[in-house]
Amino acid sequence: RGAFVHPWPWRLQCAECGWSVPSQIEILHLLAQGSANADIAEQLHLSQKTVRNQVSAIFDQLGVRSRGQAIVLAREAGFGQG
């Protein structure tokens, strides 16, 4: 797994939101690509429950209630590309 470099709007800055780096960043990247939790779990070698918990934490940290809202914010920040 390589490191991801993204433009960071204030809502997504690791230092400010206390993200678990790199797992939450990797999950957000895959989420922005439209990956399902099961696919994310398989790709990152995590359990589906871990991914589900991390996705919920990401929603809380972004202040969103849905996967769609999280994807929009993530894509606007440059996640999910490449």
pLDDT score for 56: 94
pLDDT score for 21: 54
Helix axes 48-62 and 67-76, enclosed angle (nearest 10): 70
Predicted TM-score of the model (pTM): 0.74
Q: Using CA atoms, how far apart are residues 31 and 23, in angstroms rounded to an integer?
A: 12
Q: How far is Cα of residue 70 from the mean position of the Cα atoms in its chain?
A: 8
Residue of higher predicted confidence among 69 and 9: 69
pLDDT in tens, 14-49: 544 555 556 888 899 999 999 999 999 999 999 999
The percent of residues above 90 in pLDDT, for the chain, comes to: 51
The H helix count followed by the E strand count for the chain is 5, 0
CA-closest candidate to residue 24, choices 66, 64, 46? 46
Q: Using CA atoms, how far apart are residues 56 and 37, in angstroms rounded to an integer?
A: 11
As a whole number, mean pLDDT of residues 74-78 equals 88
